[in-house]
């Protein structure tokens, strides 16, 4: 590839060399083991199943031995000069400490659990093993120092699985009061996960040929695996809810002309009636004795009005306060105090806000739990975040824009309205999105301020728009619906979970009903989220299309 | 009558410079030199801007030291001097943009058409409408090119657009389009952007942004235009166009321009003020005299490139 006289590193490396293939294969194997161990950890893969003709635990063990072996072989091969790499003099402190700590734990466990020496004995051997590995990885050249400790440990863990020292029926009882124990179902996947990460890191370094490039590849692989696993776990959570809830949501689902309920829209005094062409009873019905299929419509509508009300209350106030704090107030003690206070309010537990609503708002709104009290309580919860994020967003608007506007002879308020606010809007919207995500799923304040019930009849669906009426005496409008108790999805879910046996109302299958409610809650919150993202996207594009 | 008043002001200025520099002559030569070198610039007619004994401090940093100069109406005044000598600071004092700098403290007097701008009750919005400014670094709004131009007049209520105005029958979108075109043509930008007026201004090149800012400044039709190195990011062709523009502008406007380019100052300006490090105005006179026969040794050295 390079001539003999050329001592510099080659500009172009041929990734498909046969030696490079060993390292690449090791990385791929590590990724595969990583995925398998995650699947096993979430019980999507049973340890007693067979995979490729052997039990899963044996398969994992064998694969770990191969992986560890490959890493060691590559490292030694590089040290002996069979593989062309550009290692540095040492693997470095970080790798040394990481390997040393892992070996410290491994050594200690083997000494105390398998060999059975006393506390001093295992501590000493752990320190000895950990220190030794630290020394090896720091003192030797990088190709040995970053492969040998990882590879040997991985192979060792693999051997433990293959020989059945830790088999599918293995249990380690900690002997604590609470009967805590490690089972194979947890231990084998976890150990596989860590070993494959460790060896994958080493193999990725080897694939990059060690040196700066190798470290880059290693770090990249670690970060990538990490991100993938986080996304994977989140996805499993979501998939689980959908899987459990979809049956209940689709109960009685029908499509066709006139199958749905009848809606009436009044426009300019003329009423139009139409039948929905789809019938999804779970989101179109309440709970009722005569219902063929029951649903959670009152709670859905309640949640939506709750969030809309809280946003309408908190956003103008919060943005206004942020404008005052950033554009008008002198920066000093006062603004600092307000900042600390808003941050503190945002971290205040929601039950405290709930209690405030219960003790302060409810007595003022007809002394009963009501939708309005819930809206305001959640609005108070949302307020600090809106202030904080709007303030950040306005502070990050460059002063040049304000100067440019001032130099044109434009007043401060006009500048704020036409230049600062539009530029800050995406940030403000981000804050609202985050806040709505939190309050839409909030249970405690609703419990105290607007509680509906476990199984809410369709007649309790809040009709805020229809509830408005004009009166002849001040304040000339009234909306009694606002002062009625209403339900919301998170509270209904909570009530369903805690409801005792026999409280099942007219619902045939409360468990299915519960999961379906959870799924609908998820969808409602994600819809708010989607609306927010769309709004932010729109404002951003306005700003720099 | 007014001429005599002018004289006395001038004399006062001179006296004050004397009295002020005297107690500070601790460092010796330079202060005395300033005194010796100083020659008052005389011109016929009313000054548009009369700056008298202007001191600016940023915290403890004395950035401008007792600057006095009268800027004649409908002319081009160039400010030259080494970097950091206070040219931008001086410029920002003329429309009170320095008020926006927290640490800045300003002491002295600036009169616009004989009216003190550093006094209680001055309407800054009105002042800045009359004294426009183009900043040293381009700062277009994150809006479309057309909106950047129409922003000022719209906010002043000179142009009304939008749904409400249209409903009330007051919308004058044609006027707006004319204004946008005229300002962009004046700033030598029209040919490059005429087909993308609705694109975001941040997508323009640095030089185009600079010209957009000039166009934006023209849109509100100020009486005085302050320009801080308006041609620093422009190629020779655009620079020539801007210089032509400045030449045209000087028929109806008073232009004060900061530049690092001596040839440019010599080409476009009627009078030149030389600031030197430390924030002192060392010499102010007709441009020809400054470049051909400077009174001050230091100015001569600076102009011939020996001294910065
Ligand atoms: N906002 C500010 N805060 C503190 N000091 C400042 C500020 N603006 C300017 N200064 C100081 O005032 C002095 C003059 O600055 P100024 O910007 O007026 O220089 P200049 O002549 O415009 O230089 P240049 O040619 O590089 O633009 C400098 O020493 C600078 O450090
Ligand atoms: Mg400057």
Q: Give the CATH number for residue B241.
A: 3.40.50.300
Instruction: Inform me whether the C-beta atom of residue A396 falls under 8 Å from chain B C-beta atoms.
Output: no
Give the pLDDT confidence of A111-153 residue by residue, as tens digits.
887 777 778 888 888 999 999 999 988 888 888 888 999 999 9
**CB distance from A163 to chain B under 8 Å?**
no
Our CA-based measurement puts residue A329 at a distance from the nearest CA of chain B, in whole angstroms, of: 13
Min CA distance, B102 vs chain A (Å)? 10
Stretch A16-32: mean pLDDT? 79
Q: Which residues of A touch B97 (CB under 8 A)?
A: 403, 406-407
Does the beta carbon of B76 sit less than 6 angstroms from any atom of ligand 1? no
Question: What's the pLDDT tens digit per position in B65-109?
Answer: 989 999 999 999 999 999 999 999 999 999 999 988 888 999 999
Q: Are A83 and A167 within one domain?
A: yes
| Within-domain flag for A310 | yes
B157 with B163: CB under 8 angstroms? no
Q: What are the Cα distances from residue A487, in Å, to A245, A263, A276, A437?
A: 20, 21, 24, 18
Clarify whether residues A229 and A317 are in a common domain. no
Query: Across the interface, do B141 and A419 touch by the CB < 8 Å criterion?
Result: yes
Nearest to B142 among A409, A410, A543 (CB): A543
Q: How many domains does chain A have?
A: 2
Pure H helices in A347-370: 350-356
Strand partners, A151: none
Question: A50-55: which pairs have CB atoms within 8 A and are 24 or more residues apart?
Answer: A55/A168
Question: Which of these, A291, A269, A266, A271, lies nearest to A281 by C-alpha position?
Answer: A291
In a domain, A102, yes or no: no
B50 assigned to some structural domain: yes
Tokens of A223: 């970060």
Enumerate residues 410 to 449 of chain A having a beta carbon within 8 A of any beta carbon in chain B. Answer: 410-411, 414, 418-419, 422-423
Is B125 a member of any domain? yes
Ligand 1 atom 22, closest CA: B88
The answer on A169 and A46 residing in a single domain is: yes
Is 70 exceeded by the pLDDT of residue A2? no
Residue A258 lies in a domain: no
HEC sequence for B73-129: CCCEEEEECCCCCCHHHHHHHHCCHHHHCCCEEEEEEEEECCEECCCCCCCHHHHHH
Which residue range(s) make up the domain with A61? Answer: 10-91+140-245
pLDDT in tens, A338-354: 999 999 999 999 999 99
A206 with A303, same domain? no
A349 and A226 together in one domain: no
The answer to whether residue A467 sits within a structural domain is yes
Say if A441 falls within a structural domain.
Answer: yes
Same domain, A479 and A348: yes
Residue B189 within a domain: no
Ligand 1 pocket check for B58: Cβ under 6 Å: yes
> Is residue A45, in this structure, part of any structural domain at all?
yes
Select from A245, A279, A312 the last residue of a domain. Answer: A245
Q: What is the pLDDT of residue A65?
A: 94
Whether residue A3 lies inside any domain: the answer is no
**Bridge partner list, B62:** B57
Indicate yes or no: CB of B151 within 8 angstroms of CB of A410: yes
Domain enclosing residue B297, as ranges: 45-137+208-303
**Closest atom of ligand 1 relative to the B279 alpha carbon:** 14
A170 & A73 share domain: yes
- The string of DSSP codes covering A207-270 is HTTSHHHHHHHHHHHHHHHHHHHHHHHHHHHHHHHHHHHHHHHTTT-EESTT-S-EEEEEETTE
Neighbours of B155 (CB within 10 A): 21
Helix (H) or strand (E) holding A437: helix A421-440
The two three-digit tokens of residue A523, written as one number: 């969808």
Shared domain check, A372 and A240? no
Does residue B273 lie within any of the structural domains? yes
Residue A475, preceding peptide bond in cis (omega within 30° of 0): yes
pTM, 2 dp: 0.78
CB pairs under 8 A between A and B: 73
Strands B76-80, B254-258: pairing kind: parallel
- Mean confidence (pLDDT) of chain B: 82
B103 lines ligand 1 (CB under 6 A): yes
Residues B113, B206 contacting (CB under 8 angstroms): no
**Could you tell me the pLDDT band of residue B3, with boundaries at 50, 70 and 90?**
very low
Q: Which ligand is closest to the CA of B83, given by its number?
A: 1
- For residue A1, pLDDT over 50 is answered with no
Write the pLDDT tens digit of every residue in B257-308.
999 888 899 999 999 999 988 888 988 988 988 888 888 888 888 888 765 4
Pick the residue from chain A with its C-alpha nearest to B92: A407
Any idea what the CATH number is for the domain that residue A540 is in? 1.10.3720.10
Q: A19 pLDDT exceeds 70?
A: no
Contacts of B126 in chain A (CB under 8 A): 409
Please write the tens of the pLDDT for every residue from B128-158: 999 999 998 899 999 999 999 999 998 888 8
Tally of domains within chain B: 1
Which residue would you say has higher pLDDT here, B40 or B126?
B126
Q: Which helix (H) or strand (E) holds A204?
A: helix A184-207
Q: Regarding predicted confidence, which is higher, A476 or B111?
A: B111
* Nearest CB to A407 within list B133, B140, B156: B133
Element containing residue A490 per DSSP (H, E): helix A489-498
Among B148, B185, B104, B249, residue whose Cα is nearest residue A404: B148
- DSSP assignment of A43-67: TSS-TTSEETTEEHHHHHHHHHHHH
Instruction: Say if B268 falls within a structural domain.
Output: yes
Which residues does residue A125 pair with via DSSP β-bridges, in sequence order? Answer: none
Whether complex ipTM tops 0.85 = no
Residue B191, domain member (yes or no): no
Q: Using 50, 70 and 90 to split pLDDT, how confident is the model at A544?
A: low
């Amino acid at each position: 590839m390079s001539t003999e006289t050329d001592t510099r590193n080659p500009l172009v490396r041929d990734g498909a060399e046969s030696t490079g293939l060993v390292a690449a294969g090791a990385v791929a194997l590590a990724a595969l083991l990583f995925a398998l161990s995650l699947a096993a950890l979430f019980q999507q893969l049973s340890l007693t199943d067979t995979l490729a003709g052997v039990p899963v635990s044996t398969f994992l063990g064998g694969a770990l031995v191969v992986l560890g072996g490959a890493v060691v072989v590559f490292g030694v091969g590089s040290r002996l000069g069979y593989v062309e790499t550009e290692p540095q003099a040492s693997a470095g402190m970080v790798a040394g400490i990481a390997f040393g700590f892992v070996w410290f734990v491994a050594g200690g466990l083997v000494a105390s659990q398998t060999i059975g020496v006393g506390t001093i004995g295992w501590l000493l051997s752990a320190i000895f093993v950990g220190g030794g590995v630290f020394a090896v990885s720091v003192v030797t050249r990088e190709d040995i120092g970053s492969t040998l400790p990882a590879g040997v440990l991985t192979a060792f863990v693999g051997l433990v699985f293959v020989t059945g020292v830790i088999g599918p029926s293995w249990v380690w009882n900690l002997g604590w009061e609470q009967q805590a124990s490690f089972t194979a179902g947890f231990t084998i996947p976890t150990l596989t996960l860590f070993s494959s990460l460790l060896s994958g890191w080493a193999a990725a370094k080897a694939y990059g040929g060690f040196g700066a490039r190798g470290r880059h590849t290693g770090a990249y692989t670690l970060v990538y695996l990490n991100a993938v696993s986080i996304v994977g776990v989140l996805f499993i959570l979501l998939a689980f809810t959908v899987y459990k809830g979809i049956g209940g949501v689709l109960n009685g689902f029908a499509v066709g002309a006139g199958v749905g309920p009848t809606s009436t829209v009044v426009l300019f005094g003329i009423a139009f009636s139409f039948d929905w062409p789809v019938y999804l009873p779970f989101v179109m019905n309440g709970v009722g004795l005569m219902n063929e299929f029951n649903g959670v419509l009152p709670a859905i509508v309640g949640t939506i009005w709750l969030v809309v009300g809280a946003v309408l209350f908190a956003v103008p106030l919060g943005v206004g306060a942020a404008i005052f704090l950033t554009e008008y107030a002198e920066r000093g003690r006062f603004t600092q105090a307000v900042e600390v206070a808003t941050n503190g309010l945002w971290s205040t537990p929601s039950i405290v806000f709930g209690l405030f609503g219960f003790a302060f708002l409810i007595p003022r709104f007809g002394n009963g739990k009501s939708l309005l009290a819930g809206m305001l309580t959640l609005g108070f919860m949302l307020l600090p975040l809106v202030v904080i994020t709007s303030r950040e967003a306005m502070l990050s608007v460059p002063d040049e824009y304000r100067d440019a506007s001032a130099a044109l002879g434009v007043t401060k308020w006009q500048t704020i309205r036409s230049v600062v606010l539009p530029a800050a809007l995406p940030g403000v919207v981000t804050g609202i999105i985050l806040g709505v995500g939190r309050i839409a799923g909030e249970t405690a304040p609703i419990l105290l301020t607007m509680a509906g019930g476990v199984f809410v009849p369709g007649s309790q669906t809040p009709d805020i728009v229809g509830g408005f009426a004009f009166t002849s005496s001040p304040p000339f409008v009234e909306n009694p619906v606002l002062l009625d108790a209403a339900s919301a999805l998170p509270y209904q879910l909570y009530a369903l979970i805690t409801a005792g046996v026999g409280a099942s109302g007219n619902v045939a299958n409360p468990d299915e009903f519960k999961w379906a409610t959870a799924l609908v809650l998820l969808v409602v919150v994600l819809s708010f989220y989607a609306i927010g993202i769309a709004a932010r996207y729109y404002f951003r594009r306005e700003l720099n299309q | 009558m007014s001429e005599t008043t002018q004289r006395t002001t001038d004399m006062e200025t001179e006296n004050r410079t004397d009295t002020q520099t005297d107690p500070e002559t601790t460092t010796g030569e330079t202060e005395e030199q300033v005194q010796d070198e100083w020659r008052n610039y005389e011109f016929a007619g009313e000054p548009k801007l009369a700056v008298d004994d202007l001191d600016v401090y940023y915290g403890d940093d004395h950035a401008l030291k007792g600057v006095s100069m009268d800027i004649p109406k409908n002319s081009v005044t160039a400010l030259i001097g080494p970097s950091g000598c206070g040219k931008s600071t001086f410029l920002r004092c003329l429309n009170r943009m320095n008020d926006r700098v927290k640490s800045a403290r300003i002491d002295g007097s600036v009169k616009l058409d004989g009216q003190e701008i550093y006094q209680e009750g001055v309407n800054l919005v009105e002042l800045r409408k009359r004294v426009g400014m183009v900043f040293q670094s381009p700062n277009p709004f994150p809006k479309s090119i057309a909106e950047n131009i129409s922003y000022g007049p719209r906010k002043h209520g000179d142009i009304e657009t939008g749904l409400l105005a249209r409903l009330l029958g007051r919308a004058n979108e044609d006027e707006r389009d004319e204004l946008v075109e005229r300002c962009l043509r004046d700033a030598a930008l029209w040919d490059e952007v005429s087909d993308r007026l609705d694109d975001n201004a941040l997508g323009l090149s640095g030089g185009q942004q600079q010209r957009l800012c000039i166009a934006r400044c023209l849109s509100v039709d100020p009486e005085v235009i302050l320009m801080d190195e308006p041609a620093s990011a422009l190629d020779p062709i655009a620079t020539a166009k801007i210089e032509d523009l400045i030449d045209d502008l000087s028929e109806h406007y008073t232009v004060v321009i900061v530049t690092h380019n001596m040839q440019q100052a010599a080409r476009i300006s009627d009078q030149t003020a030389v600031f030197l490090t430390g924030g002192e105005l060392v010499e102010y006179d007709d441009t020809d005299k400054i470049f051909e026969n400077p009174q001050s040794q230091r100015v001569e050295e600076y102009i011939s490139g020996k001294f910065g």
